[in-house]
Amino acid sequence: MLITLDATPLLGTRTGIGRYVDRLVSHLPDAVARSGADATIRVTTWTARGGRIPALPAGVRQVGPRVPARLLRECWRRWDAPPVEVLTGRTDVFHGTNFVSPPTRRAREVLTVHDLTYALHAGTVTAASLQYRELVPRALARGAHVLTPTAAVAAAVREHYGLTEDRVTPTLLGVDAPWFDAVPASGRWLDERGLPEEFLLFVGSLDPRKNLPRLLEAYARARRDHPGTPDLVLAGPAGREERLAATPGVHLTGWLADADLRALVAAARAL
């Protein structure tokens, strides 16, 4: 059996979905071996720029040509073409890891829907994410099986799209071992980055869909009612929330490497 995954989220700076796909690609070969299945794992990327993924696990190879993601999405929004087999060769299962599952000739489709922000809070997402409103239903109409990161999202997806219980499976996310023994960031490390030693922490991209204005409103009330409230650190890649930096007591770190993020989380008073 050939299993092919969309590994495009592994390109560039990795956010939450990039980490999800990284762990999936890293651990799926061992999981397949433990199950006794005779399966080969492959990955592909939708991009016109390079798109080569370094350090793939043993036995996992990359397939497919350079094809612009924007062009493919425009085609897949309108037609069930081109089928994924034209791009990657024969496959038995294709896993669309990031909301988009391409049409296939014979392969079974598996689609991860991480949340329904694009459908329920359309004003908070980019134009590219709004395309999921067309791409996801097309995949569902072809019979794609949906994976979600939580039972809550699974229930929301079933209700929103009218799917039966057996069409959606929550696959709860794990925690990498290094998080369990992370060492809190030192005072010197924090000082070098302009961060206080006592702080509350938010982790995520700084985009409207994260509802950060509500967090800042709550934080401002806490500072007003409880003068000893620690500062608030927002850790994550820059987004479209432009008012954050000017908020009293709020610090922005930008994107952090995994080790730095673990140290910051371990040092926080609350997350």
Helix, strand or coil, per DSSP, at residue 47: coil
| Residue indicated by tokens 């004003």 | 123
Strand partners, 96: 111
Cβ atoms 3, 40 nearer than 8 A: yes
- pTM attached to this predicted model: 0.89
Strand order across the 231-235 sheet: 199-203, 231-235, 250-254
Confidence of residue 242 (pLDDT cuts 50, 70, 90): low
Tell me the residue ranges of DSSP E strands in 76-229. 93-96, 108-112, 145-148, 168-170, 199-203
* Domains of the chain, earliest start first: 2-170 (3.40.50.2000), 177-267 (3.40.50.2000)
Cα–Cα distance list, 218 to 73, 179, 234, 253, 267 (Å) = 39, 28, 14, 20, 22
Q: What is the pLDDT of residues 160-218, one digit of tens each?
A: 999 999 999 999 998 989 999 999 999 999 999 999 999 999 999 888 888 888 999 99
Tell me if 172 sits within 8 A of 230, measured CB to CB. Answer: no
| pLDDT per position as a tens digit, 122-154 | 998 889 999 999 999 999 999 999 999 999 999
